[in-house]
Amino acid sequence: MTPQPQEEIERTMSRYTLGHSPIELRRLDFQSEMLKPVTRRLLESARLRPSMRVLDIGCGTGGVSMLAAEMVGPAGTVVAIDPSEVAIEAARANAERARLHNIRFRACGLDQVEGAHGFDVVVFRCVVIHQLHAVEFVRHAARFVKPGGYLALHEPDFVRKPMSTPAIPLWDSVTAEILERCKRSFPSFDVAHRMVKLFAAAGLPLPKMAYEVPVDGGTATKLSSWLAEMLRALSSDPDSTVLGNGKRIEFGRLSGDLQCEIHEARAQVEFFGQLCACAQL
């Protein structure tokens, strides 16, 4: 394979912004469980079936890879790539624990993948938000889809502010802070709101899209934990952070404080929306 210039490599897959500390790897595992039903519906929309061949780009700790591996079965194959050796090691361990042996993990970028038009489905989740050159990235990814196959994307919405009803001040201030930090941290933070333009600019067909908002009440334990860990991931200090309104947040108690406020108000709270898009090529 002819080496590509560094500029072209960066155009086809940007660095993961949040790093791969043990805390971040655990957060990715937890997030994978929370998003599994949404991503499953995306893969079903992409007509993923037994015996198919899948490419998972930016696989992280392997959540999407393992879901796809279950759906294609022992006769199918998943090729899962991520530039981070640390993430790939974690993904391999997760797949081994799940006894899934039809996944081939590779620590590499998209520019190092061979086999144009070799996959029935090419999928990536929470990857485009990190891309400085989103159009080039999506266009390059589409080259690996077989004629008649599907390109499938799942991206979070970091433009629309989640609601709490009745209003939960702590929930609202944390979600607002996360949105502000995402705007500063992720080059394509708003991609969920321009998916049609993204596909068109990449020369791809109009995608079929679905939008889901996770909602919970009671103590909203899982959403509270997810929100707290997301703010931690966007903070330089793993123990505490200061919000834009001047309030200091201690991560050791944030999830519990959120749960108490939600329960006492008998409120329901929303998490960040999830936009899924797929197109047959």
Task: For residue range 140-199, list pLDDT tens digits in order.
Answer: 999 999 999 999 999 999 999 999 999 999 999 999 999 999 999 999 999 999 999 999
Angle at 77 between CA 71 and CA 81, to 5 degrees: 105
State which H helix or E strand residue 269 sits in.
strand 268-270
Q: Inter-axis angle of helices 22-45 and 63-72, to 10 degrees?
A: 40
Rounded CA gap, 146 and 117, in Å?
4
Closest of 73, 72, 61 to residue 35, by C-alpha = 61
pTM score, two decimals? 0.90
Amino acid at 62: G
Length of the chain: 281
At 15 the pLDDT is 67
Structural domain boundaries in the chain: 6-280
- Bridge partners, 165 (sequence order): 268
The CATH number of domain 6-280 is 3.30.1240.10: no
At 117 the pLDDT is 80
pLDDT means per 10 residues in the chain (281 residues)?
A: 41 65 87 95 98 97 97 97 95 97 94 87 97 96 97 98 98 98 96 98 98 97 96 94 93 97 98 98 97
At 10 the pLDDT is 45
Burial track 23-44 (b if 16+ CB lie within 10 A, e otherwise): ebbebbbbbbebbeebbbebbe
